[in-house]
Structure 1
């Protein structure tokens, strides 16, 4: 069955990226945040998701239902009932991790309001997706035991609606930083790195859309156990890819150490002297922006704190803010 080898590959990649992220935040930066905790919990739920995917595979996943004993089909459906809310929970936790990371990268007031609204939307839709699949049938065991009298939600509506929520929140989290990115004045190499990072976000959206097509095919397939193989595989691919992509931006300090030639000379000199500058800045209240960036594990370029007098025009203040944002993104994405 192709679900297991494919799942193992993507789970290993996700686990490695999370491990590298933790090494970066705990050993190099030494200031982990809520986004790190959320991504670790997300990986844990994804591992449990894979464990029940193994159980599905051992009980006739992607095989013809007519060739399977009724008890085997029930065991597969019971494992499926657990994997669906785990899939939704994994993606919700991953998106919450991204939101908390964005809050540190983009400290502007307007953007933070947008992030709070996005946070509320992700939490509400996440709760709906988990509960609607966990309590899909009443009684619960009627999901895998069709002989019981039951009241169930319409599977075509719930599954397609939940997939639409996943795709929508994916797109929101990819598009949300674009207005800020459009204002950045970066060298070509830094812009290319930005494009790669956010192109990977669109790759998560693509996997969500592909999964939705497999769900539609499954709903039309009279042989559920046979059609479920492809849908289950793409569900796990989507969750693992989302975790992997969410871990890439915080890896920048590690890349500075491992691939110094890829980093501009002024960035290399900064990171080589970061520890000394960090100790001198602990008592300086004017370095709040640098402290915020270090808490996120994404160091900023050294810059003198801007002092803006009342006589300066609004236009000059705007230019100063744009310059600071440029420095933030140089430090993050290089």
Structure 2
């Protein structure tokens, strides 16, 4: 009868078989999973209760990501019951086979979940900025990543079950590709698509006609997704131990951990840009007008720059509606409702003949000019008296 020692060699000296990382792994993944779920719930509240707009496809897609994420969480906990986070010599060969079965399912779920998160982020970019060629590239890379890695993994072992039976029946099949190479290649490709997706909005924000500090603040919101890249790199680091350490159940503990943390952080970062309206509402309720003025000074909608010159200077804010003359700024002017980060102050209604084209519109307060384009121009007028 084949034993663990026959497959993985004798137990190295200095190893304590009572070591158990399973509770730490379970606690970490449950905590991050909970944060990801809360982030999605807050996103829905921000969109429906604060902004009072309909949910977009990006919102529904990020919510759908919670289904495979829940499956990853369950797989991680089940793997812990089969020896994950413990030394391989403390269990049986059956435990190793069961853990590999769970890993087999885990990889397929992971290869679906990560691209879904990226696609949701790209669709969020599309809703805020509009679609451009770089977003199409990212969309193609995300779909291509999922398709290529899934096909490669399906073809990795013949038969498929040899992936987890190879330790019990070494002659029962073969692996066409090096599985360690597949893990590393998959992880590196994922980091590459992470970085590309992360950088997409930066050139767009840099071209906006806003103050430099505002550009930095908005770019910083999107660059928070860099934490996903950090998690991916940490995951690759722990994967490198698979090449030289026979204690696979112990080494795979950290691989499972960071493979589950990564999509949790991804979902959190995908929701952060949409929570601006909720944060503004909450801080205003808690801290009153001071918080409102603070957000107003940082918001992209407050792009007018006020200049004062003692008591003699006067500042006037005007708006001009093309064809309607000028008037003092209406404090009730609405912004484009789906613009969480308040990037635009332009609203439009399309011609009836272009009803099938996508537009962003806000109805004028007085109901006039239903098919006109309304552009809000803000400028400062300063008078000085000798």
What TM-score does the superposition give when structure 1 sets the normalisation length?
0.77
1:32–1:296 contact (8 Å) kept in structure 2: no
1:73 aligns with 2:108: no
2:213, 2:165 → 1: CA distance?
57
1:164 aligns with 2:188: yes
Structure with greater proportional strand content: 2
1:119 to 124, 132, 139: 139
What is the match of residue 49 of structure 1?
72
* SS of residue matched to 1:210: helix
Q: Deviation of residue 66 (structure 1)?
A: 2.1
Q: What whole-Å deviation, never above 9, does each CA across 1:223-272 have from its counterpart, x for those lacking one?
A: 211110111111111111011000111112212211231420797999xx
What is the match of residue 283 of structure 1?
none
Structure with greater proportional helix content: 1
1:85–1:131 contact (8 Å) kept in structure 2: no
Q: What whole-Å deviation, never above 9, does each CA across 1:157-194 have from its counterpart, x for those lacking one?
A: 21111111110111001112221222335457634532
2:63, 2:160 → 1: CA distance?
29
1:256–1:268 contact (8 Å) kept in structure 2: no
What is the match of residue 264 of structure 1?
296
* Structure 1: gaps spanning 5 or more residues: 271-289, 306-323, 328-334
2:201–2:222 contact (8 Å) kept in structure 1: no
1:112, 1:145 → 2: CA distance?
47
What is the match of residue 260 of structure 2?
236
Q: CA distance change for structure 1 residues 65 and 265 in 2, over 3 Å: closer, same or farther?
A: closer
1:104–1:293 contact (8 Å) kept in structure 2: no
Q: CA distance change for structure 1 residues 51 and 235 in 2, over 3 Å: closer, same or farther?
A: same
What is the match of residue 178 of structure 1?
202
2:222–2:273 contact (8 Å) kept in structure 1: no
Q: CA RMSD in A?
A: 2.9
2:108–2:150 contact (8 Å) kept in structure 1: yes
2:174, 2:126 → 1: CA distance?
42
Q: What whole-Å deviation, never above 9, does each CA across 1:134-168 have from its counterpart, x for those lacking one?
A: 55322222111111622322112211111111101
What is the match of residue 46 of structure 2?
24
What is the match of residue 201 of structure 1?
225
